[in-house]
Amino acid sequence: MDLNGKKILLGITGGIAAYKSCELLRLLQKKGAQVRVAMTEEATRFVAPLTFASLSKCPVYLKDGAVEARPFQHIDFPRWADLYIVVPCTANAIGKFAYGLADDPVSLCFMSCTCPRLLAPAMNVAMYNSPAVKRNLETLRSFENTYVLESPAGELACGEVGSGRLMEPADIVSFIEGGSLPLAPAACHPRDFSCHPRAGGDLLAASATPSSGGHPRNAPAAPLASDSLPEQDPSLPGHGRRVLITAGRTEEAIDPVRYISNRSSGKTAVALASVFLANGYSVEVVAGPMEAQFPGGATVHRVRSACEMHQAVMERLPQVQALVHCAAVADYRPKEAAAEKIKDSRNQLVLELVPNPNILRDSVAAKKPDQVVVGFALETDHFAEHAQEKLKKSGADALLLNAPVAKDSGFGFDCVNYALVTPAADGSEAAVPEMQLGSKVELAETVVGFICGRLGAPQKAK
């Protein structure tokens, strides 16, 4: 199924996997689809509506409405769409859909929708396997033009393992492209509309003809070229600005098959990239090995070792206005990596280690006065003391202190304990705020908000 020119309504409900909908939206746009968003009130606690409004270039349909909202969004949005997808779809939303309850934007759109509907469940394994959810899913599968995706098994946000994970955004797009969804135009489009960025005005414009530009069918996932990105709103704080993010982990070779590394999944960097993109920044990433996938629109440069990451960052630093050091870089590497696999002799093996370059300190030393550099400090004890020491030694403009030691948070999870630490104006010891447990998207919004404040309003072109 060719998605070029298709109109897709994306419903988002209140699950921790809501942040993945940012990536899904970008992937759909990359295929040439127009995307509009409806959110439940619970979903807005995981990802700010501004993120989706910025990415889609259209106001988000919210329960409380907005200044630029139309009075019949619950009818207009689903009738505009060729396909309605709910990602993630929580147990609560599934129950509402099955029993015809409609008291929020997502369920109202489901009720009035006449085009095909695709649901991607995401919840705890116990909830997913409960008799009520199973019954409700079977009910929904019996509905005309309603399709329910399977929830793959794996590690869940709560730390348990089992079914209930959200299908990965790239797999959802592949299903839509390769499936047999009858994406015919909806039966009734009495008030068809399109959205365009218009600074200081209503984002809803008169109906427009979908683009007929060529987007190759089943094209592999890759960052969007700059000329294929949606036109940026010049009022966004990142308009005309570029940010560089380090991501993932580094691997320091011991021999051809072994290395020194850590458990970083890259999820925090993906959240940062998504929020920066939503705020109008051009995003470049220097990424070591990682599991999480970046949203379309981010330009990713792959590296493996700390030395490679150091070189890539220093080469790109002069071209950016902000740099965020999110990667978990190994402090040491073997002095010499064996050319052949080290044989198991059961004798004691001694590795001589040497320090890796300090990418944060070197980038601070090389930065220009109008650039902003934010470092990350991952600590497991004596949080305040270690954060104060690292901030002072590095000279960074701010340090994001995070601790992966709380239950069900940190590496591989969607939540983390964090606090943003900034130098004291009088040169005294930096005050360390109390850490809070929040989503990695909330963490990203904190970092992006700080950088936007430091850089100020974008300069208007002369």
Residues with catalytic roles: 158
As a whole number of angstroms, the distance between CA 194 and CA 57 comes to 10
Q: List strand residue ranges (DSSP E) for 393-444, in order.
A: 398-403, 415-421, 436-439
| DSSP reduced 3-state for 384 | helix
For tokens 């019996």, what's the residue?
142
**Dihedral angle at the C-alpha atoms of 88, 92, 95, 101, nearest 10 degrees?**
-100
Q: DSSP letter for 405, please.
A: T
Bridge partners (DSSP) listed for residue 415:
439
Q: List strand residue ranges (DSSP E) for 109-203, in order.
A: 117-121, 146-148, 154-155, 161-162, 194-195
Cis peptide before 182 (omega within 30 of 0): no
As a whole number of angstroms, the distance between CA 358 and CA 337 comes to 20
Secondary structure (DSSP) of 231-247:
PPPTTSTTTT-EEEEEE
Can you list the alpha helix ranges (DSSP code H) found in 5-130? Answer: 20-30, 49-56, 73-80, 91-99, 105-112, 125-128
Tokens of 76: 């207009």
Secondary structure (DSSP) of 291-346:
SS-PPTT-EEEE--SHHHHHHHHHHHGGG-SEEEE-SB--SEEESS--SSPPP--S
Q: DSSP letter for 328, please.
A: B
